[in-house]
Amino acid sequence: MTQVLDRPTLELIRQMAVEASNSNGKLHVQKIEGVDSKALLVKPDGTHEVLEIPAPRRTHGLDEVAQVGVFAAYMHEQEACPVVWYDRNQIVVVCDDGTRRDRATCGLTYTDHFSRLMELANQEDPLTQRDFVRLLKYELAGCVPEALLKSARKVQFNSTTEGFGDVGKGKVSLGKEVRSQANTDNGVEFQDEVVVTCRVFTDLGLKRPAKIKCDLDVDADAMTFSLRPYPGEIEREIDEELAYIGSMLAKAIGENARLFRGTP
């Protein structure tokens, strides 16, 4: 294909050819004013070549998961070969798997509720009644049964002392045993298990409610509370959420792109 150059460019080539004749065999590369995608390579003998300059790499940011399918379809229309990758941190669209240059990224951020549950899974220190009420009312607002919050506010810690004796051959043992119990205001004990319901990621398009089973331990002697997800619950919900995202992406991108779980 013949490259058509304008008059200013031809004049630039002529001047560089003159300079090249006195350059002791050196090559000259000169950018063309107003043309970012091409440059001139002038050889010592005065001949030239037009060099193609690839565009700088671009990284696009997508604000929500719903835009991933739209963007992949757009790149497909541009005769590119887009590939979509996703994991627990982000969704990445490699705009063209042939060049692997430009990318579009949609970050995934845990909700405050889910982040707090992740902290509770590793928290050793129990909570006072005041802190436990604050946890249910503010940090996990709307995620636990309302009855649990009401009970936590009006819990009654009761202690009773019972005597006991053990008389046997050659020994006499007498003592007292203190039994503590935490009851609600209507006399019902706390349940050992609580299901916390919340979304995993902040993206409003990800509406699947995660249900995390947690162990509720009430220490009547110390008058403290511990709420902790069972082992494996957090990872299980993250895996289920990623499977949900994968299903959404597969439906959204259709035949416009390939889909993989992982990192590019």
196, 144 contact by CB (below 8 A): yes
- 30-50 pLDDT, tens per residue? 666 666 667 666 776 667 677
Cα separations (Å) of 109 from 142, 156, 171, 196, 261?
19, 39, 66, 19, 17
pLDDT of residue 179: 42
- What does the pLDDT read at residue 177? 41
What stretches of 82-155 adopt beta strand conformation (E)? 83-86, 90-94, 103-107, 127-128
Predicted local confidence at residue 89, as pLDDT: 96
Q: Mean pLDDT per segment of 10 residues, for the chain of length 264 residues?
A: 51 58 60 66 69 69 93 89 94 85 92 97 92 95 91 74 47 42 56 94 95 92 91 97 96 93 92
Tell me, yes or no, if the pTM score tops 0.75.
no
Measured in whole angstroms, how far is the alpha carbon of residue 5 from the centre of its chain? 50
On whether the CB atoms of residues 246 and 261 are closer than 8 A, the answer is yes
Residue 219's pLDDT is 86
Q: Which helix (H) or strand (E) holds 73?
A: helix 66-77
Predicted confidence at residue 2, as pLDDT, reads 44
pLDDT at 154: 82
Task: Quote the pLDDT of residue 156.
Answer: 75
